Structure 1
């Protein structure tokens, strides 16, 4: 295959992925047909299969890429911090910054994992657990005396809050205020264990 043809195909594939993210996040995965996707991209529905295996695999690829990118971004930003408190702040800031770049991907990750088949759901759940474990590793020095399971509980609350707030209307909500409340929640929870 020539480099030119490869670039053209890559461009079409990128357009398909971009269109899928836009349509799936706006209308939901189940509501969008391959015909809808083809129309959005400006190609024949049958030609989509030259670029993607099927709609299910397309969603999986979007979710896997989004979550892998979020994990990599978070690891890079938290690695440079010295204290658990600073690492936690960097963890929150990473999510906020990533949301600014790929909010639709995060919304799909929050909302559409259930649309995947069992095998693909399991793969995404494993990645979600990696993200949760990253937070637990950051917070563990703060919760070293805690009741068993408390750290996992606190981490799930924080991650649930971060993803859940994607569904809120952004009117009047400011990241700094939201993050300050999460920092206070985690800090106060940790001090209750001392």
Structure 2
């Protein structure tokens, strides 16, 4: 059982980050000039050379985690339906609303309201690796957006499930250090 957990956790996290990189490449302004790079640069300003990220640093990566949640919503790593609200939806008599397109924009923390999003399951069957997956994702994406720029070599936005999602042609990218020129 331990091997299943390790393999499944590694594969699902790597697929999440793969699709996050793809999403950030599709919208390069988000990385270069937008909140993703900005929040990660602000964290790095207060660190000494070689200092590890802290829990407080991870809690500041709200936009990066919203990208992760939106990626999990649109390309769930486990079998699920693809969902996108075409218009704002309010449920009568409840305080639950599903905004058009994105669900996580106005969140004040990285936590998600109970039962509003179940990429990691819920209740007694919640994923035991949820916290580890979020740490792994935030730390990796922090270093990627700060150190590298990249562009897709294949713009086809097709993926397959075998059984988990993966880009049909892999994710061929050209990456360069942030200080090097790259044609976007």
TM-score (norm 1): 0.30
Q: Say which structure is richer in helix.
A: 1
Give the structure, 1 or 2, with the largest relative contact order (CA under 8 Å, sep 6 or more).
2
Q: Say which structure is richer in strand.
A: 2
Max Rg structure: 1
